[in-house]
Every structure is written in C-alpha cells, then in structure tokens.
C-alpha cells in the first residue's frame, strides 16, 4: 500500500488530496483546500507550509506529488505561483518526503488517456476512480488527480471496471 499526497498549489487556494494505492485499487483518504486568500503574502506561505506539514504528520504519506508548471499568463503570476509551490514543496521536503512533479499533460494522460483532456473530464475520472459521488472543490480534485497520476501514470480507463467491481 502506498499513500500519496497530491498538491495543487496556489497563492490564494492550495488543494490537497490523499490517496492510498494498493495494486490496482485506489482508496480516497482525504482532500480539501487550504485557504489563504487575503492574508499578507509571507503569512500565506506560512499557512501553506504549516497546514501541509500538519497534514503530512497526520496522514504519513510516502510521497508528495505536485503538478509541474511551465507556463503562466505573465511574470507576476508566475512569481506568485512559484512562492506557493516553494512553500508546499518545502513542507514535503523538510518532512522527509520525496517530491515528484508531473506536467499537466502527464496528469491528463494518466487519468483520461489523452494529454489534451479538459478539466471536467479529469474531475469526472477522479470521482470515478475513487468512488466519490459528491462534487469536489476544483483545487481538491486537481490535487487528487496528481496523486492518482503518481500511483499510475499509464491510462487508467481499464482500471475503472475493477474499481467499480470492488465497491460494495
């Protein structure tokens, strides 16, 4: 059994998702959103770091998976996102976790089978694979997606059948 903490970092909202993987089965453990919103910037980074360090202490994941970002609208948004990712990755690295990074394309490829899938398709597959009926917050869903990408980077469609069969 491998426990993965997926992270979707942002300077205002940071999604997290914890997934257990056991062979071809996935189990949802936890997910949510760390809201920093209008706090002063250094305080936002402290909240991201400390909330994630607390989550890691609680759930004891084996690895942190983070979406790798190359493009941003502009330099200012890239700087802000970089700070938030830096805080999140620090929380993992200083807690002794390996940190794996996946491109958005790799996440889409792993979950939907094509790197050009849209966000709704990815969100649908996250709920399917984890047997979640209720809608998820977008950032929590994205974090679960990168966690699922880590546990299995090849197309997962064929696994849905197994996952659905294994439900009570």
Summarize the annotated binding site as residue ranges: 8, 67, 139
* Euclidean distance between CA atoms 153 and 69, whole angstroms: 17
Backbone phi and psi for residue 31, each to the nearest 5 degrees, phi listed first: -160, 165
The single residue of 8, 20, 51, 142 carrying the catalytic annotation is: 8
Q: How far apart are the first and last CA of the chain?
A: 20
What DSSP element (H or E) covers 65? strand 63-67
Binding residues for Mg(2+): 8, 67, 139
For the segment 55-74, give every residue that binds a second copy (CB under 8 A).
Answer: 69-72, 74
Binding of residue 43 to a second copy (CB under 8 A): yes
Known catalytic membership, residue 22: no
Binding of residue 42 to a second copy (CB under 8 A): yes
* Euclidean distance between CA atoms 83 and 73, whole angstroms: 16
Q: Where are the alpha helices (DSSP H) in 104-166?
A: 104-112, 119-130, 138-151, 157-166
Token readout for 95 is 């807690």
Query: Which C-beta is closer to a second copy: that of 28 or that of 102?
Result: 102
Q: How far is the CB of 62 from a second copy (least distance, A)?
A: 15
Known catalytic membership, residue 51: no
Query: Which C-beta is closer to a second copy: that of 76 or that of 154?
Result: 76
Binding of residue 160 to a second copy (CB under 8 A): no
> Footprint of a second copy on this chain (CB under 8 A)?
41-43, 45-46, 49-50, 69-72, 74-76, 78-87, 89-90, 92-94, 98-99, 101
């Amino acid at each position: 059994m491998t426990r993965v903490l997926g992270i979707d970092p942002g300077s205002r909202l940071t999604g997290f998702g914890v997934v257990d993987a056991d062979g071809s089965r996935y189990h949802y453990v936890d997910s949510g959103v760390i809201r920093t919103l209008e706090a002063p910037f250094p305080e936002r980074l402290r909240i991201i770091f400390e909330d994630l360090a607390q989550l890691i202490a609680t759930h004891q994941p084996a690895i942190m998976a983070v979406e790798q970002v190359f493009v941003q609208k502009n330099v200012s948004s890239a700087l802000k996102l970089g700070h938030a990712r830096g805080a999140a990755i620090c929380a993992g690295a200083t807690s002794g976790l390996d940190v794996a990074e996946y491109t958005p394309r790799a996440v889409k490829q792993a979950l939907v089978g094509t790197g050009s899938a849209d966000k709704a398709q990815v969100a649908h597959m996250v709920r399917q694979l984890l047997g979640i009926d209720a809608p998820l917050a977008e950032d929590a869903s994205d974090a679960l997606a990168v966690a699922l990408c880590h546990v299995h980077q090849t197309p997962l469609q064929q696994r849905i059948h197994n996952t659905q069969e294994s439900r009570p």
